Copies of this chain bind each other. A is one copy, B any other.
């Protein structure tokens, strides 16, 4: 115990017998998992990566926060239909730091293709993708693509990071069991340490030296041999000087032999995460069974990307948004607000007689499309003629049954401010939030006769060109100046009487029902499906927690439950007011701000790629992925119901605990897997 430096009679306090007390370790849980690295520099190439970081998997409905604590490591098993996308998250947290610049360290993630025994493959980069989960307002939401098959991410001390892994099964993929491997490896701090990278200044210097050297050796033809020899000597000394530059310092000792990480060595120390995917013999219909129409703001695109309305760049930007959203089983419509009550909504920016319009309208992934009602912006005869022509062309097409007109998005503020809710709501307590004027949210029925006349006239116009045209009207309350019912919900239920035949798609807010989902049957009972009448729903500001919606900060199952709710209540379509409704900005890469007065995330389902990278491709939110999952769940439930009846489908939803009502649905992921597995078991080959 005594060292030479101590005088002989000085007792260095012993280590033995020390326990408890204030600076003892009274609360250790499960012991320390890493070996004693002490003070030395940690070389991640010499240590199993599992000693440096923890890796665990989380379902797609988990919100993996920066402070989330590690769970046991496990491999991934997914079940997916053909034409289905399934996702899982890989969470990582450093146990210690092995880098030196404020972060814990860099991790390499490497994916292989997923292969079946029959030799079929799900290709990495195509069917298998990885994205980095980036927090928005502190909540994990933005999914920033990682390069494939090898990518690097930086881990921060004391912070959990998550990677979103998706398997997108092509419609033609042979069913079977596919297996692949994800290798996760702690990397030496090459790319970020200034000692190891070549900054621009160094590069510039190196480049210049090399050019000088080249000048020495280049023009030798015809030169006297002595000069050539002289130049050769100079070049030699130049090259030696270059090789002594600090940038090559690491290569001095080993005489240039490569100490780069060997592939096998790498894989020896890597964390091996197996990913198994069972593709089963059910193909999700290319065209979603339930149309989900989502608004995309023209204005936002024009401002943020600096594209002039009607310019080539404008068409390109719209095209990019259209195609990108189709991947999510969403039928986009572009929109722009007219004078405070009318909306111009259109799915295709091209007129119906333009060659490109067919590409839009006939895309099989499109379940419904909005036909622009041109006179909404200008009542000129030219506009009316344009409308007539549009309808004439479209109504002859096979896709015409997908067409709808969305004409109205209007709020009677006076009505709202006078606590409309009190008069209109059944079965739901009213909070201040509900009566705040929700400008800009598609909610209200035109309430007075003047408005009624306008909608009637527009609808008549349209139906004079095509009697079977569908007009969609959104509302969340009954008329205020007509006596249609004895109580407020009754007035709301009777709206179809009032708007018939000028509306075919009666689109109501889910918020109105509160937790009284049974009222949905009253709505449906009021309709005349034989005359093509349908009931659709929407969510926006409301309903709020604990009901399903897509606000930031809600639980993952709460996001996914929006579509479970739709399916259970029996609506035949869904509308969402905005997928890109950020606060105004004039730069593509400007910070995305949510609009004031709206719950965070409301109206924002993806982000501009430019905010996170140099890519123009939109960045999906986690919520958008969960919308897709919900849309896919509907196809599963529909398949099951087609075999065993809708009642059995409803029973399955309830029995597995996935969804019981708007305030009772699973908070955990496993019931979802159980339900899907049951459908696979009973409907599979």
A307 interfacial contact with B, CB 8 Å: yes
A287 interfacial contact with B, CB 8 Å: no
Which residues of B sit under 8 angstroms from A29, Cβ to Cβ?
Answer: 596
A339 interfacial contact with B, CB 8 Å: yes
B248-A207 in contact (CB<8A)? yes
B22-A442 in contact (CB<8A)? yes
For A442, give the chain B residue with the smallest CB separation. Answer: B22
Residue-by-residue, is A306-349 near B (CB-CB < 8 Å gives 1, otherwise 0)?
Answer: 11011111010000000000000000000111111001101000
B248-A203 in contact (CB<8A)? yes
Which residues of B sit under 8 angstroms from A144, Cβ to Cβ?
Answer: 102
Looking at A28, A300, A310, the one whose CB has the most chain B CB atoms below 10 A away is: A310
B210-A239 in contact (CB<8A)? yes
Residues 592 to 642 of chain A near chain B (Cβ within 8 Å): 592, 595-598, 603, 610-614, 616
Which residues of B sit under 8 angstroms from A10, Cβ to Cβ?
Answer: 350-351, 353-354, 386
Residues 360 to 417 of chain A near chain B (Cβ within 8 Å): 372, 374, 377-378, 382-383, 385-386, 389, 409
For A584, give the chain B residue with the smallest CB separation. Answer: B25
Given contacts A581-B22, A587-B37, A611-B97, contact A217 B232 (CB under 8 A): yes
Q: CA separation between A191 and B193, bound complex, in Å? A: 10
A487 interfacial contact with B, CB 8 Å: no
Question: How many monomers of this chain does the complex have?
Answer: 2
Q: CA separation between A377 and B239, bound complex, in Å? A: 65
Which residues of B sit under 8 angstroms from A225, Cβ to Cβ?
Answer: 225, 228-229
Residue-by-residue, is A479-521 near B (CB-CB < 8 Å gives 1, otherwise 0)?
Answer: 0000000000000000000000000000000000000000000
B214-A243 in contact (CB<8A)? yes
Which residues of B sit under 8 angstroms from A40, Cβ to Cβ?
Answer: 306
A201-B614 in contact (CB<8A)? no
Q: CA separation between A5 and B309, bound complex, in Å? A: 13
A286 interfacial contact with B, CB 8 Å: no
A239-B256 in contact (CB<8A)? no
Which one of A130-138, A168-176, A264-272, A463-471 contacts B?
A130-138
Which residues of B sit under 8 angstroms from A613, Cβ to Cβ?
Answer: 100-102
A231 interfacial contact with B, CB 8 Å: yes
Q: CA separation between A300 and B229, bound complex, in Å? A: 65
Which residues of B sit under 8 angstroms from A441, Cβ to Cβ?
Answer: 22
Residue-by-residue, is A15-54 near B (CB-CB < 8 Å gives 1, otherwise 0)?
Answer: 1011111111111110010111111111000000000000
A236-B214 in contact (CB<8A)? yes
Extra contacts besides A34-B590, A204-B260 (10): CB < 8 Å:
A2-B310, A20-B440, A21-B337, A23-B577, A36-B586, A95-B590, A95-B591, A211-B256, A217-B232, A225-B229
Which residues of B sit under 8 angstroms from A590, Cβ to Cβ?
Answer: 32, 34, 37, 95-97
16 contacts between A and B (CB under 8 A): A12-B309, A13-B372, A13-B377, A24-B299, A29-B596, A34-B585, A38-B306, A96-B590, A97-B610, A97-B612, A198-B203, A211-B256, A217-B217, A217-B232, A220-B233, A228-B228
Closest 9 CB pairs of A and B: A21-B337, A38-B306, A22-B440, A198-B198, A23-B297, A27-B596, A10-B351, A100-B614, A37-B587
Residue in B194, B260, B595 whose beta carbon sits within 8 Å of that of A200 in the complex: B260
Interface size on A, residues (CB 8 A): 163
Given contacts A39-B306, A136-B158, A386-B9, contact A199 B204 (CB under 8 A): no
Q: CA separation between A104 and B439, bound complex, in Å? A: 31
Given contacts A217-B239, A374-B11, A378-B14, contact A300 B96 (CB under 8 A): no
A389-B610 in contact (CB<8A)? no
B588-A310 in contact (CB<8A)? no
For A22, give the chain B residue with the smallest CB separation. Answer: B440
A680 interfacial contact with B, CB 8 Å: no
A117 interfacial contact with B, CB 8 Å: no
Residue-by-residue, is A54-94 near B (CB-CB < 8 Å gives 1, otherwise 0)?
Answer: 00000000000011000000000000000000000000011
Which residues of B sit under 8 angstroms from A681, Cβ to Cβ?
Answer: none
Q: CA separation between A310 and B14, bound complex, in Å? A: 9
Given contacts A38-B305, A583-B25, contact A94 B597 (CB under 8 A): no
Q: CA separation between A191 and B353, bound complex, in Å? A: 51
Q: Min CB distance, A200 to chain B, in Å? A: 4
Looking at A389, A589, A611, the one whose CB has the most chain B CB atoms below 10 A away is: A589
